[in-house]
Structures are given as C-alpha cells and as structure tokens.
Structure 1
C-alpha cells in the first residue's frame, strides 16, 4: 500500500493521468490475509495496515490528475475499495465486485466508505452483509463503472481514448476542477456547494488557460494551453 501511494504521488508530478491496473487475471483480491492475521487483540500492526490503506485512497483523491482504474476479474474487499476510490473506472464484462470480509468475520468497514458514496446504500449494505459479488453490468447500471469492454484489449482501447481526451486539456484546470469536484460534493447543503463552486469557477475564469480557450473558440482554432 505504501509503495503504491508513493507511486501515485510521484507519477502525478510528471504525468497528466494515472492508470491503475493488474498484470494478472484479477484486479485485486484485497489485503494479503497473512498481513491481517494478528497474534493478539492489541496488535499495533492492525492500525498500521488499515491506516496505510486509507492513506492510499486519500492520496488518489488528492492527486491533481485523473486516476483511472482498469478492472478485470475480481475486485474484492480492499481491491474494490481501490477501484471505487479512483476517479473513473473501466471494466471488462467478466469483472466482479464484492465486499466479502463478513465471510471471514471481518466486516468491510473501510472499503464501504467509497463504495457507499457511489452505489445505493441498501445495495452496499446487502453486499457487506452477504459477501456476495455484483457483476460489471450491475456496477454500470448504478454508476460505479464508466464503460464496459468485452476484453482486456478493448478496455485498453477505451482507456487510451479517454486519456487522449484528458491530456488535450489544461492540466492546471483539471487539477483545480478535480479538487473542487470532491470538495463541493462533501458539503452539507446544495447552497454551500454552490457557494464553494462559484468561488472556484470565478478563479478558473480569470486564469490564462480559460482566456486562451475562449479566444481559440472565437478564432476557430485549437487552444494552446500553457499548462
């Protein structure tokens, strides 16, 4: 977890987009169970393991560039948490998502944080209590997945298309927008969200990138963003 967190933070300084995927037939089954078989009830390793996991998820949200998950096969427990924490999610038709900790006597409390903010709460709670998976189609229906592909190769093509569109826009503007997207969604009321979003949009409109984009529109040319 710590290594992946460091990679996310490092890559975001040099690149315009981050893609998280697996080189095997499954995305991630979550924690290595050997890591969470503790010797005593007060074992301090427990807080370290779950703390590092939470830090990774926060790093994905706080990184200034879009993070895309490519999910093939199983995305279970903390693996599901990782996929759900990404800004976008592409999946193969064979992908499955589950919160199966209850089957081992460990309720998937931290994975439920990002999942319950995307999937309906009743569906999330059913998954938490039964440990049973949902398909990519169900995930797409409820807004967890952006696009479904029939194969890993097609998923790569879909991802390339999305990335090409992202990198054609201003990195600075996307970074500003990503931060506020999550900031306003956490506001208690719609009024507070509008107040926050209006301030950021005002800041954005005064930036050189916006003025260049508007000029390019009127001049019928492609914009040349400085950053």
Structure 2
C-alpha cells in the first residue's frame, strides 16, 4: 500500500501538537499506520516543536530574532541523523493488518472493533451504510456501493477521510486504499465510487457538510451529517 494522497501539513502539525480534535486524531492515526511519508513528516514536526521550546527558553536578542530562530532550527535539523530502518515501514500493528485483510487499522479498533466482518452497518441512504463511533458522533465509518455517485457538497469546516477498501474518484483525483482526503471548507466535490467493490472509508467532520441540492439538504437533517 503506497498512498498518493497525504495529510495536509497543517494536520500533521496539529497532530504533533495535540491540538486536533479526537475524531480527526483517530483518522490521522489510521492514515499514518500505512503511510511512511506522513510518519516522516510527523517526526519532523515533533522535532521542530522541540526546537521551538528550546528557543523560547533561550531567546535570541536583536532585531533579526525571527530569522535567527529559523536559521538555528535549520542548522539543528541538519545535524539530526535520519532515523535508521524506519522510512517506509509500518507502525506497530500495521504489518498484521496487511497480513489479515479482515483486520481494521489499529487506531480504529477501540471505536469500531477489530474486524470488518464484525461491523454492524446502519442504513443511511440507497447504497450507503454507516456506523457512528460510540461517544464520537462525528467519527463515521461509511460503506458506499460500487458505482455510486454521492451528492455534490462542500464542508462547513474540515473533513478528513481515510480510504480503507475500494476507491472513489472526484475532481481532486483517484482515492484508493491508504489515501487520505484532507479537505477544507473551500473544497466542493462529488465522490463517485469505482465499480466492482464497495468503498469503505472512515471520516471525521468538525462541522456539517454543505449540500448543493435541495433534496440532499432535506435528507441532511434526517441523516445528521
């Protein structure tokens, strides 16, 4: 699994700082289990955070303080050796997930259980089923039938989606297993699932979706999306 769509740098920084909401953190963790690129970015963000704390403790005097801080961080990062044997390797638990196609990513198991076969889907709309995580209603796992076109929509704020099985296409490209769709309120799209296999994904919302069609807007009140 080699993801082509990754977490936004702001999401990685928020994850490193512990400032993401719980739903977003779960989905980000699920993505990082299969994405060596985003794990590497996380390590970099954590180091930068540590360097910023060091610089706050030892401020640099003078008018060019900000430039000096940036250069000091670059110099220190250049001297930090790259992690050995980590790039491209899964985190603990991801290798077993690859060996067992029925096993959910480790980050999702406390909220949805350990396997796909044990999931108890609830009907949402024709061809669309979902499960809301207990205690985290904005953390939603969805199963969308093959060849299904979802309503055109944008986002009240942010949406973070991790593709688990199947795939979909929209104006942003092709999203396959391992890919993350890290979307802001400026994105409007209409996912269409690819033929053959149902698309299963997990998503986190920090604001309701914004639907263009009036029928979808009516259903939104019932579906609580």
For Structure 1 versus Structure 2, the TM-score category normalised by the shorter chain is: under 0.3
The answer to which structure has the higher strand fraction is 2
* TM-score, normalising length: structure 1: 0.27
Structure with the larger RCO, 1 or 2 (CA within 8 Å, 6+ apart): 2
* TM-score, normalising length: structure 2: 0.27
